[in-house]
C-alpha cells in the first residue's frame, strides 16, 4: 500500500490558521502571573464534573463570568445535559482575563475553564455554538501546563468539488504553556476543532508535553451577548427573543423549543454555510433542555435530536 503522509503540518505563530482569522499567540501572560497560575487556579476554581448524553465529560470544568450589579449574568448555551453554575471571576482568572482583553481588543465576559487531568482527557470534535457569542467577536483558549494539540478539520460539506474520498484538510496547532489560541468565528463556521487524547507513553513525549505532570488547564474566554436575570427566571439579549433587559422573557425548559435549539446546534456542527441569521436570529428562550413535565414523546424527540449531534 502506498504510504500516506499521516501527519498534517504543524502550525504556529505567524501561520495562516483556519480561514485566516485565527492565530496562536505565545507568552500571553507575564512571568509573575504565569508562575503560580496553575496552582492558584487549582485552589480558587470550583471544579466540577459535567455530563453530556448521560456520561461524564472526560475533563473537569468550571464556569465563571461577569455578574452585573443587578445580579444578571452572561449565559453560554451548548448541548451538555448540565453545566456548572456560573460564579464570579476568581482572582487568578480575573488577572488572566485582563491580559486577554488587552491583546484581543474587545471585552470577554465569560469563561469555561477545563482541567485535562492527563493525556487521556480530551474534547471531541465540535464547532463552538454561537447563538450567544457576540457576532464578530473572537473566542480564545488560554493554555497552561502540558502542551496539547489543537486539531482543526474542515467540515465535511466544505470539500464539495474536491471529489468523493478526498481527505478533509486538517491542521495541527500545538498549544504550549502560556499561549493563547484565537478562534475566529469564520474558522469556527467552516472547521471543527478538537483536543484529541494523547495516550503515548511518557518516554515518547517531549518535555513540553510532560510539563506539569501532563496536566493542562485551558480557559475558553468568550464575549457573550445573552443574559439571565439573577433569579434565572428571565432571559434577554442577542440569543434570546427579547433583545433588551426591558423585554426579557421567562425562560423555557424542555418542550419543542428545546428540540429546536438542539437541532440548530446540530446544524452548526455540520454545515459550513450555516446561516446564523436564519437559524439563530429570532432567538431562543430555552435554558434547560429537559423539564420534569415533559411528555414521553417530547423526551423521545429530544433524545433523537441529541443523538444526531456529533461531538459536543
Ligand atoms: O481546551 C481547549 O483548548 C479547547 C476547549 C474548547 O474547544 C471549548 O471549550 O469549546
Ligand atoms: Fe470549542
Tell me if 147 CB under 6 Å of ligand 1: no
Q: Give the whole-angstrom CA distance, residue 242 versus residue 221.
A: 24
Q: Give the whole-angstrom CA distance, residue 294 versus residue 284.
A: 18
pTM metric for this prediction? 0.92
The reported pLDDT for the residue numbered 167 is 81
The reported pLDDT for the residue numbered 100 is 97
Tell me if 57 CB under 6 Å of ligand 1: no
Domains of the chain: 23-222 (2.60.120.590), 232-307 (no CATH)
Per-residue pLDDT tens over the stretch 139-163: 999 999 999 999 999 998 877 655 6
Look-up of cell digits 504543524: 10
Largest CA-CA distance found in the chain, in angstroms, rounded: 65
Asked whether the beta carbons of 112 and 195 are under 8 A apart, the reply is no
Asked whether the beta carbons of 261 and 309 are under 8 A apart, the reply is no
The DSSP call for residue 133 is: B
> 246 alpha carbon to ligand 2 midpoint, in Å?
32
* Residue 115 bridge partners (DSSP): 60, 217
Residue nearest to atom 1 of ligand 1 (CA): 218
Per-residue pLDDT tens over the stretch 104-137: 999 999 999 999 999 999 999 999 999 999 999 9
Sign (positive or negative) of CA dihedral 133, 136, 142, 146: positive
Task: Give the Å distances, CA to CA, from 119 to 123, 150, 217.
Answer: 11, 13, 12
> 123 alpha carbon to ligand 2 midpoint, in Å?
8
> 67 alpha carbon to ligand 1 midpoint, in Å?
23
> 193 alpha carbon to ligand 2 midpoint, in Å?
6
**Residues around the ion ligand 2 (C-beta < 5 A):** 128
The reported pLDDT for the residue numbered 6 is 44
> 2 alpha carbon to ligand 2 midpoint, in Å?
35
Tell me if 218 CB under 6 Å of ligand 1: yes
CA-CA-CA-CA torsion for 63, 236, 255, 257, nearest 10 degrees? -100
Tell me if 121 CB under 6 Å of ligand 1: no
Atom of ligand 1 lying closest to residue 143 CA: 3
Q: Report whether pLDDT(66) > 90.
A: yes
Q: Report whether pLDDT(2) > 60.
A: no
Tell me if 141 CB under 6 Å of ligand 1: yes
* ipTM surpasses 0.90: yes
The reported pLDDT for the residue numbered 159 is 72
The reported pLDDT for the residue numbered 310 is 53
Query: Which residues, other chains included, contact 92 with Cβ-Cβ below 8 Å and sequence gap of 6+?
Result: 33, 36, 37, 40, 41, 44
The reported pLDDT for the residue numbered 20 is 95
Per-residue pLDDT tens over the stretch 264-292: 999 999 998 889 999 999 999 999 987 77
For residue 141 the three cell numbers come to 483558549
Asked whether the beta carbons of 267 and 308 are under 8 A apart, the reply is no
Q: Report whether pLDDT(90) > 70.
A: yes
Q: Give the whole-angstrom CA distance, residue 177 versus residue 144.
A: 5
Q: Report whether pLDDT(195) > 60.
A: yes
Asked whether the beta carbons of 77 and 100 are under 8 A apart, the reply is no
Atom of ligand 1 lying closest to residue 220 CA: 9
- Backbone angles phi and psi of 243, in degrees to 5: -85, -15
Q: Give the whole-angstrom CA distance, residue 225 versus residue 27.
A: 29
With residue 103 as reference, give the H or E element that holds it.
Answer: helix 91-104
Q: Give the whole-angstrom CA distance, residue 31 versus residue 35.
A: 6
Query: Which residues, other chains included, contact 109 with Cβ-Cβ below 8 Å and sequence gap of 6+?
Result: 65, 66, 74, 222, 223, 224
Q: How many residues does the chain have?
A: 312
Amino acid at each position: 500500500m502506498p504510504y500516506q503522509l499521516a501527519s498534517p503540518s504543524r502550525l504556529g505563530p505567524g501561520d495562516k490558521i483556519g480561514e485566516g482569522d485565527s492565530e496562536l499567540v505565545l507568552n500571553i501572560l507575564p512571568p509573575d502571573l504565569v508562575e503560580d497560575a496553575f496552582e492558584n487556579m487549582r485552589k480558587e476554581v470550583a471544579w466540577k464534573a459535567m455530563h453530556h448524553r448521560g456520561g461524564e465529560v472526560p475533563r473537569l470544568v468550571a464556569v465563571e463570568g461577569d455578574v452585573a450589579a443587578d445580579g444578571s449574568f452572561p449565559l453560554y448555551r451548548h448541548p451538555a445535559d448540565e453545566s456548572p453554575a456560573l460564579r464570579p471571576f476568581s482572582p487568578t482568572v480575573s488577572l488572566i482575563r485582563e491580559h486577554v482583553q488587552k491583546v484581543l481588543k474587545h471585552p470577554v465576559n465569560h469563561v469555561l475553564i477545563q482541567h485535562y487531568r492527563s493525556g487521556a482527557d480530551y474534547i471531541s470534535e465540535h464547532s463552538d455554538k454561537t447563538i450567544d457569542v457576540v457576532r464578530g467577536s473572537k473566542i480564545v483558549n488560554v493554555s497552561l501546563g502540558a502542551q496539547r494539540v489543537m486539531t482543526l478539520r474542515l467540515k465535511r460539506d466544505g470539500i464539495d468539488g474536491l471529489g468523493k474520498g478526498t481527505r478533509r484538510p486538517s491542521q495541527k496547532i500545538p498549544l504550549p504553556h502560556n499561549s493563547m489560541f484565537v478562534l475566529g468565528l469564520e474558522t469556527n463556521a467552516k472547521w471543527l476543532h478538537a483536543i484529541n487524547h494523547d495516550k503515548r507513553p511518557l518516554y515518547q513525549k517531549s518535555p513540553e508535553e510532560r510539563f506539569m505532570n501532563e496536566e493542562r488547564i485551558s480557559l475558553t474566554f468568550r464575549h457573550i451577548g445573552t443574559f439571565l436575570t439573577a433569579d434565572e427566571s428571565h432571559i434577554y439579549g442577542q440569543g434570546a427573543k427579547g433583545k433588551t433587559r426591558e423585554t426579557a422573557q421567562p425562560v423555557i425548559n424542555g418542550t419543542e423549543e428545546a428540540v429546536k435549539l438542539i437541532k440548530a446546534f446540530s446544524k452548526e456542527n455540520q454545515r459550513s454555510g450555516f446561516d446564523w441569521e436564519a437559524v439563530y436570529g429570532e432567538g431562543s428562550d430555552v435554558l434547560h433542555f429537559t423539564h420534569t413535565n415533559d411528555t414521553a414523546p417530547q423526551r423521545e424527540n429530544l433524545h433523537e435530536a441529541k443523538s444526531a449531534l456529533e461531538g459536543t
